[in-house]
Structure 1
Amino acid sequence: MTLLASPQAPTLASELTLATKGPADVLRGTGDLGVVVERATGSLALVNTSDREIINHIEGLGDLSHASVKFSRDERYAFVFGRDGGLTKVDLLTGRITQRIIQSGNSIGGAISQDGRYIAVANYEPGGVKIFSSDDLTLVADIPTTYEDKNGETQRSKTVGLVDVPGNDFVVSLFDAGEIWTLDMTGKKPGIERYRDIGEKPYDALISPNGRYYIAGLFGEDGLAKLDLWHPEKGVERILPDYGRGEKRLPVYKMPHLEGWAIAGDHAYFPAVGRHEVLMANTADWSLEKRIPVHGQPVFVMSRPDERQIWVNFAHPDNDVVQVIDTRSGEIVKTLEPGKSVLHMEFTPRGEQVWISARDSDHIKVYDTETFEELATLPAESPSGIFFTDRAHKIGL
């Protein structure tokens, strides 16, 4: 997005000082911007991916120990979901917070609707989903995720894996209840469809790039739960149910993240829970085709935009390493050591670079994804999540 002078915004150019390196009348597009979460200081580093530089730091965002970010469809605003229940709207052009609310006791992430009107937040405490207007963060709907436990008592479940899907809907998993809910936002009130008994303890979920398949990972058992949103009448199907049969699971130091899953060609790549493996499934029938041994327990398994490579980072104590899998051979072709405690990776929109956060080294490494050459090292305070504005135009991101 590029801002143009208009009678409705006579002071806008003067507000851009923080977001530019030059005079206040220099305007900036948002297509090469992004943010890096600085979890130790409750701040965001505003970055330019073309220049590979940090523009400034935006402070006052609370507890960012498990933060995620979504972007408005015009790429101007970032919506930051904090672990303290904070929901913060940040103007990327002025480098300022425009609104901030505390909407729950403990939240785990969120999503923005297809039309950009709604911001949904998944909450641990109390369990449920809250939906807000993206304009001013006013509450639109409060949806408690209640279920009946084994004793017949009504409980509220933690919510995870909240994503947007086509049709202005949201889909979310209920960790304690073992359910998936779809939330239809086309009417005056959210329409709720419940899918019960999907498996034990869904811990995270993903949506396929075309918005068809919602897949929840299961922590309490092997396998994943798949909902075909083109044919919801078929219900939830279990896939990869036996990938760890007969094997002992290792202690899990950090839960895998499915949002950064990888689809490349006719295959999907998933992190295996409690194992040093990446699972490769055939998307024609979702059968397990290969188990790829890797350095540690995978956390993020991410596809380069052209689908030629899969980049993998790992849980403690093996989290100083990133490995690259070539999708043509299914083999590891590169092992990198970007720094201590690698937490996240993000590709530039066309995939020529990858940015990697190393929390305990207080820096971000930028690599050329073709040559693996290190292009830059940027200082940051305990960096974790990295989010670029092109996510605004991708389903589920």
Structure 2
Amino acid sequence: MILKPTLTNAVLLCLLATAPVLQASNSEPDSTQSLYQQHCAACHGSDRIGVTGPALLPQNLGRLSEEDAESVIRNGRPATQMSGYDEVLSDNEITRLVDFIYSEPDNDLDWSPDAIKASHRVPNPADTLDPFPIYVADLMNLFLVVEKGDHHVTLLDGDRMEPITRFPTRFALHGGPKYSPDGRFVYFGSRDGWITKYDLYNLRVVAEIRAGINMRNIAVSADGEYVLAANYLPHTMALFDAEDLSLMEVIPAARPDDKASSQTSWHSLEYQDSIPQKMESSRVSAVYTAPPRDSFIAALKDIPEAWEIRVVDDEAQVRRMETETHLDDFFFDPDYQHLIGAARDGKQGHVIDLDTGDTVATLPLPGMPHLGSGITWEYEGRRVMATPHFRTGAVSIIDMQNWKVLKTLETEGPGFFMRSHENSRYAWVDVFFGPNSDKVHVIDKQTLEIEKTLQPAPGKTSAHVEFDRHGEKLLLSIWDDEGAVIVYDADTLEELKRIPMKKPSGKYNVWNKTQYEEGTSH
């Protein structure tokens, strides 16, 4: 039976988008801007950066087509307070609004430390919550399933493969939820910059804060004390106390023109209201936790550098490592000695020694590898890594001892996600892009060949596998509004059951994520 947790004020705010102002204009508004201010600004902000409703900026709407946006304005969005405007606005007005929200704003946008602090709320402080779960389950074999169809998350018992509860989230979660080291708390990040801390024992929101206007992802430190957010807008990272998400520091993603040597030195970077003209700034593509190094690693979009960040006496210290080119996506070897980054040109991967900051190898990886979805395993006494590609139907398998491509395995189309488990002989990769997106390949990790190709729901995209903690069962998403999570036997590949869900995307097992299981992304 699904438990229904009490909705706190913070959770209710998660549901709020705009309700239409039920007064049709008697005359054409002076401009589309005034049309927006009349009907949308109250919940989406006069500057479109979002308030209780999501931000309406091109960067934040990247995964919503203009056609879908028009449908939302016209018909509303299920499970939110966004009602339809079909009887309020004309076709022309709706079209103009869509054009407006997909256009770049005229003014520069910023999200200051004061704005971050003003967004902070703690409806259920962690120290006031019961330290024991309100349900019975293996707490290390829980799954969180993100349902993009109606912006909810289902908490799934990984032994019984039954839902425990389902709760609303902020609009457009991105980058995957991150667990505290003990698995009790989970932190969600949204494209709109919201970070939500949720207690998996009491099924309540603990705290929320908005780190930026457009955020890529978050990372939780290995000791569970800090949360770091990576922003596209503004060009910053924001550091928070993991206990209550209070702001500790805003780190500008910028470097001076002199590009002083930084491979082995650590610096503090203080936030200013605006980045000085002599400072080159960058969007932050992602941040990662590097547990053996007691640090974070940041990928920069617009500066050819990777940053390592340590928190010393509650203050961020940054070491900048220059790279040979702009790197968009990162992967790490198991001991976090090496970083593997995908070059912007989509043709190469660069291997960087994190101690020295030097590039030690270059890999031929045409077709833009999705390194963030890479996995590793033991093959003939050595460790290999494998990654799908965004732009070509291939999986690259790389020897991590000599950094050579061991094999390029042809698939039926470009893939997005790849998963396995230490206890499984198989690796799974989807064919997310192209006409064969309803298929998924099962690869034998010792023969390096495709063992089987499945087509679980013809005509509907199959994507993103996640194993249970034991590697005995796995979940696969049918990426559709009337979709499902399919449970498979990891050894026989037999389908065991289907759990209906609203466009389920990522699934995240507590054990695999907190123990850094080799078959899942980190």
TM-score by length of 1: 0.85
- How do 1:131-150 and structure 2 match up within 5 A? 131-147=239-255
Q: Verify the 8 A CA contact 1:264 1:307 in the aligned structure 2.
A: no
Whether 1:198 and 2:308 are equivalent positions in the alignment is no
Whether 1:124 and 2:242 are equivalent positions in the alignment is no
CA 98–338 in structure 1, closer or farther in 2 if over 3 Å, else same: farther
Equivalent residue number for residue 343 of structure 2: 218
Distance of 1:347 and 1:283 partners within structure 2: 24
Distance of 2:343 and 2:437 partners within structure 1: 22
Q: Which amino acid aligns with 1:319?
A: S
How far apart are 1:243 and its partner, in Å?
4.0
Equivalent residue number for residue 36 of structure 1: 145
Equivalent residue number for residue 182 of structure 1: 308
How far apart are 1:36 and its partner, in Å?
0.6
Equivalent residue number for residue 74 of structure 2: none
Q: Which amino acid aligns with 1:236?
A: T
CA 11–78 in structure 1, closer or farther in 2 if over 3 Å, else same: closer
How far apart are 1:223 and its partner, in Å?
1.3
Distance of 1:146 and 1:272 partners within structure 2: 30
- How do 1:311-322 and structure 2 match up within 5 A? 311-317=428-434, 318-322=436-440
Distance of 1:345 and 1:287 partners within structure 2: 27
How far apart are 1:148 and its partner, in Å?
6.5
Q: Larger Cα Rg: Structure 1 or Structure 2?
A: 2
Whether 1:346 and 2:471 are equivalent positions in the alignment is no
Helix, strand or coil: the match of 1:259?
helix
Distance of 1:309 and 1:153 partners within structure 2: 51
Q: Deviations along 1:153-204, whole A, 9 cap, x unmatched?
A: 644312224211123200011111122110012344222111123323x222
Equivalent residue number for residue 171 of structure 1: 297
Distance of 2:226 and 2:127 partners within structure 1: 25
CA 11–209 in structure 1, closer or farther in 2 if over 3 Å, else same: closer
Equivalent residue number for residue 5 of structure 1: none
Q: Verify the 8 A CA contact 2:419 2:464 in the aligned structure 1.
A: no
How far apart are 1:342 and its partner, in Å?
2.7
Equivalent residue number for residue 259 of structure 1: 372
Match of 2:423 among 283, 295, 306: 306
Match of 2:500 among 374, 379, 397: 379
Q: Which amino acid aligns with 1:41?
A: D
Helix, strand or coil: the match of 1:199?
coil
CA 87–388 in structure 1, closer or farther in 2 if over 3 Å, else same: same
Match of 1:286 among 381, 399, 403: 403
Q: Deviations along 1:30-51, whole A, 9 cap, x unmatched?
A: 1121211111322111111100
Helix, strand or coil: the match of 1:275?
coil
Q: RMSD over aligned Cα, in angstroms?
A: 2.6
Distance of 2:293 and 2:471 partners within structure 1: 28
Distance of 2:390 and 2:212 partners within structure 1: 29
Whether 1:46 and 2:155 are equivalent positions in the alignment is yes
Match of 2:362 among 230, 239, 258: 239
Distance of 1:243 and 1:211 partners within structure 2: 21
Q: Verify the 8 A CA contact 1:347 1:353 in the aligned structure 2.
A: yes
Distance of 1:45 and 1:73 partners within structure 2: 21
Equivalent residue number for residue 100 of structure 2: none
TM-score by length of 2: 0.65
Distance of 2:462 and 2:252 partners within structure 1: 35
Q: Verify the 8 A CA contact 1:279 1:288 in the aligned structure 2.
A: yes
Equivalent residue number for residue 328 of structure 1: 446
Helix, strand or coil: the match of 1:185?
strand
Q: Verify the 8 A CA contact 2:238 2:251 in the aligned structure 1.
A: yes
How far apart are 1:349 and its partner, in Å?
1.4
Identical aligned pairs, as a percentage?
Answer: 26
Q: Deviations along 1:281-313, whole A, 9 cap, x unmatched?
A: 111111112111011112122232236322101
Q: Verify the 8 A CA contact 2:424 2:472 in the aligned structure 1.
A: no
Distance of 2:251 and 2:357 partners within structure 1: 25
The count of residues paired between Structure 1 and Structure 2 equals: 366
Whether 1:389 and 2:514 are equivalent positions in the alignment is no
Larger mean CA deviation between 358-367 and 203-212 belongs to 203-212
Q: Verify the 8 A CA contact 2:299 2:307 in the aligned structure 1.
A: yes
Helix, strand or coil: the match of 1:210?
coil
Q: Verify the 8 A CA contact 1:213 1:226 in the aligned structure 2.
A: yes
Distance of 1:124 and 1:204 partners within structure 2: 15
How far apart are 1:256 and its partner, in Å?
5.5
How far apart are 1:278 and its partner, in Å?
0.7
Task: Report the structure, 1 or 2, having the larger helix content.
Answer: 2
Structure 2 unmatched runs, 5+? 1-125, 258-276
Q: Deviations along 1:34-91, whole A, 9 cap, x unmatched?
A: 21111132211111110001111111x2122534111111211110111111101111
CA 154–186 in structure 1, closer or farther in 2 if over 3 Å, else same: closer
CA 57–256 in structure 1, closer or farther in 2 if over 3 Å, else same: farther
Distance of 1:277 and 1:218 partners within structure 2: 17
Distance of 2:255 and 2:201 partners within structure 1: 43
Larger mean CA deviation between 27-36 and 120-129 belongs to 27-36
Q: Verify the 8 A CA contact 1:163 1:207 in the aligned structure 2.
A: no
Helix, strand or coil: the match of 1:99?
strand
Q: Which amino acid aligns with 1:366?
A: V
How far apart are 1:384 and its partner, in Å?
0.8
Question: RCO greater where, 1 or 2, for CA within 8 Å and sep 6 or more?
Answer: 1
Distance of 2:508 and 2:157 partners within structure 1: 11
Whether 1:363 and 2:484 are equivalent positions in the alignment is yes
Larger mean CA deviation between 364-373 and 99-108 belongs to 99-108
Distance of 2:306 and 2:501 partners within structure 1: 37
